[in-house]
Structure 1
Amino acid sequence: MELQNIAMPDPVQDVTHAGLRFFIYATADEMGHASAIQIAREQVQLVEAHGETSLWLMAAPSAFPFYDAYIELVKVSPMLQSALGSTHFFQFDDYPLPADHPATFRYLLQQHLFGKLSRWIPEENIHALNADAQNLEKTCQAYALDLLTHGPDLQLKGMGENGHWGFHEPGVPLDLEPGFMEVDLSDENVAQQMRDHPLLFTDATEVPVKAVSANVALFMETHELIEDNVPQESKGFAFLASYGNEHVNDAVPSSALKQHPNAVVRTTEAAAREWLAYQEHGIVTEGSLSRMVTSLQGESGGQDMEKYIRSTLETMEIPIGAA
């Protein structure tokens, strides 16, 4: 089946704001399906034009709808099957654990995506980030060079509950030299990892405190297309902080996406609820603030989480009021 003949899911809303185009869907499956179609179309065209391409992938539950839809597209599209043989795949980030550890993103990608496409993807085209290497600095430099040698052309991005991009955490400068870095996970990120992977992490002490990640400057090097997928209601605060206005600040790393010339944001009504309310009212209402606190408070406690949200929104110049 030709990819151009596969219909894109219809969004509930199609909005252009702060230099980005936003497609809002009723369900996460529709969101992931739309991104899979668009990335697959671009992928085939790039292989036809240049002989090869590259796809840089987040490894997270936010991407599961994309993975599932992409796998189904491969099954029905001979053109996409052929393009896979000339596509190089790269990771955003990973924990410094052995590759076969179920908490690693190498393992997640193998189980949820690559293992199901092994018939079409040559093993050498899967570029694993060996975050457990002894010489981590050398490994990071080599991986970044490998990535830049092959592109990166296409990127499937996600967003952390605190606005992180990959594991580039809030507060880490956005103007670093493009590359990979060792990072310390924030408390907010640790709490998210427990929510994302409840069977792997039953206690905060089980979440690795360090990881390896590309930085935002490197993510922004993507040439052709960045597709941002944000399906969860728990991402409502991060979505609002990132995209509420045109302001960019390292307090919310994902806010930098607004400066990329070829980026698209796909989300769900649940995730975009507070963002849409802010666009309507021009302020964050107390009701909206309360919902964001409830979705994120976890082990941090309501007061601490409210203080954190208020502080971040103030930094991003997003006002809170009583309307």
Structure 2
Amino acid sequence: MEIKIFETSEQLDSYAAELFTQLLNEKPNAVLGLATGSTPIGIYDKIVENFNHNKVSFSGATTYNLDEYVGLTPENDQSYAYYMNRHLFSRIDIPSSQTHLPNGMAENPEEECTRYDALLNAHPADIQLLGLGHNGHIGFNEPDGELSAGTHVVKLKEETREANARFFASMDEVPKEAYTMGVGSILKANTILLVVRGSDKARIVKEALTGPITTQVPASLLQTHPRVIVLLDREAGRMLE
């Protein structure tokens, strides 16, 4: 596991964007596993900056997102499909047919999980971008006695809903369920890029990266992967030093 701590968010974002840029220049048809939330926004901005300076093309790339809320249409401004179009897809040269997320409006959730898993199994990610929840969740794989390997629908814990409530008009509007890529699928990626910011994440960073491997801290399973790159700002990494 390679851990890097940055003095500024801009330095972190630039470093992460460069990893994607280098990968695509070496392998134009790379498979990218992408994430949402506040953590990756600066990274996506830097990726777009590299694209605008003709340093990288996404025309041959394929993307698969970690998760999507159940019951939100792609046009809903709180859906992850909307987020990805706003922050990345509409700003680069990737064809929409090469971008993939779970379908939050699927009539049959079980069939949707099977469909998405088939895509993931056929196209393992060259790099998988991850954030880290306060309770150690990755994607929406919440702490539990056991974890699902494949794509599944998860009932979101209240602390996760509360953390996401700032994006919604009220708590009542925050979805209670989401599709998420399973931990098994995440661990199939060639490289995992874990990005964490803020002093409020320092404790869970230490627990996930140096504590026991347990399903009660899903991110601790990353310790079993042969190539994990962890990018932290100074505050998130303060308990590791």
Q: TM-score, normalised by structure 1?
A: 0.71
Distance 1:107 1:54 in 2: 20
Q: Deviations over 1:40-76 (max 9, x none)?
A: 21222123xxxx2210101110001110111111112
Moved over 3 A (4+): none
Letter of the 2:76 counterpart: H
Q: 1:203 to 1:238 in 2, by over 3 A?
A: farther
Larger Rg: 1
Q: Deviations over 1:135-163 (max 9, x none)?
A: 11111111111122122211111111111
More helix, by proportion: 1
2:39·2:196 contact (CA, 8 Å) conserved in 1?
A: yes
2:68·2:101 contact (CA, 8 Å) conserved in 1?
A: no
- Equivalent residues in 2 for 1:1-323, closer than 5 Å: 20-47=1-28, 52-78=29-55, 80-81=56-57, 84-96=58-70, 97-117=72-92, 120-171=93-144, 173-174=146-147, 176=148, 178-194=149-165, 198=166, 200-223=167-190, 225-245=191-211, 247-276=212-241
Letter of the 1:74 counterpart: F
Letter of the 1:27 counterpart: T
Letter of the 2:223 counterpart: K
Letter of the 2:53 counterpart: V
Any stretches of 5+ residues in structure 1 without a counterpart?
1-19, 277-323
Distance 1:186 1:235 in 2: 17
1:62·1:232 contact (CA, 8 Å) conserved in 2?
A: no
Q: TM-score, normalised by structure 2?
A: 0.94
Q: Percent identity?
A: 25
1:53·1:151 contact (CA, 8 Å) conserved in 2?
A: no
Which 10-residue stretch deviates more, 59-68 or 141-150? 141-150
Q: How many correspondences in the alignment?
A: 240
Q: Secondary structure at the match of 2:237?
A: helix
Q: Which of structures 1 and 2 has the larger relative contact order (alpha carbons within 8 angstroms, sep 6+)? A: 2
Q: 1:145 to 1:172 in 2, by over 3 A?
A: farther
Post-superposition shift, 1:32? 1.6
Post-superposition shift, 1:210? 0.8
Considering only aligned residues, what root-mean-square deviation do their CA atoms show, in Å?
A: 1.5
Q: Deviations over 1:157-213 (max 9, x none)?
A: 111111100000011524x3x31100011121112112xxx2x32433221111110
Distance 1:133 1:33 in 2: 36
Any stretches of 5+ residues in structure 2 without a counterpart?
none
Q: 1:144 to 1:172 in 2, by over 3 A?
A: farther
Post-superposition shift, 1:109? 0.7
2:67·2:101 contact (CA, 8 Å) conserved in 1?
A: no
Distance 1:23 1:95 in 2: 31
Distance 1:99 1:23 in 2: 35
